[in-house]
Amino acid sequence: MTTTTVLDELRSMLVRVLDQYGLDDLEITRGTSFHDDLGLESIDLVTLGSLLVEHYGEHVNLAAYLAELDLDSVIALTVGDLADFVIARVG
C-alpha cells in the first residue's frame, strides 16, 4: 500500500469527521496537523479511530497508538504520522 493511497483514504475519512464543521475543501498533506491545522478536538479523534477500524480492520487501533504518546505528541500529531502508522500496521 502506497503513502499516496493511504493519504487519499485518510483525506476522505477526515472530510467525514469534519463534515459537521462545514469544511469540504480540505487541503491535506503529510505535514497537516490534526490539532492546529484541522482544529480536531479529542472527541474527533475517537470518530476517526472508528473510521480507521471500519476501513482497515481492528489491527489499525488508533487508541492503542495514541495511548503510547505523551499529550504534547498527541496535540502535535500530523497526517503523515498517522499515514506511517497505518502503513506499518497494514503493510
Partner 1 sequence: MAVLDVNGLRTHYQRMAARDPVGEPPIAVFVHGLGYDSLASFYLTLAAPVSEAGIDVLTYDLRAHGRTERPATGYTLKDFVGDLGALLDGLGVDRPVHLVGNSFGGTIAFSFAAAHPHRVRSIVSIEAEPATVPWADKMGRTLVNVVDEMGKEENLRWLAETFGNHHAKLARAAHGIIRSTSIVEEVPTGPLLSPEELMEIRCPVLSIVGSEGFQQDDLTAVQDALPNCRTVVIEGQNHSVLVERHRTVRELVLDWVAQHDGERRAA
Site residues (vs partner 1, CB under 8 A): 35-36, 39, 41-43, 45-47, 49-50, 61, 63-64, 66-67, 71, 74-75
Cβ-contact 34, 40 below 8 angstroms: yes
What SS3 state is found at 78?
strand
Question: For the chain, how big is the Rg over CA atoms in Å?
Answer: 12
Q: Measured from the CB atom, is 75 or 87 closer to partner 1?
A: 75
Shortest Å distance, C-beta 20 to partner 1? 10
Shortest Å distance, C-beta 34 to partner 1? 11
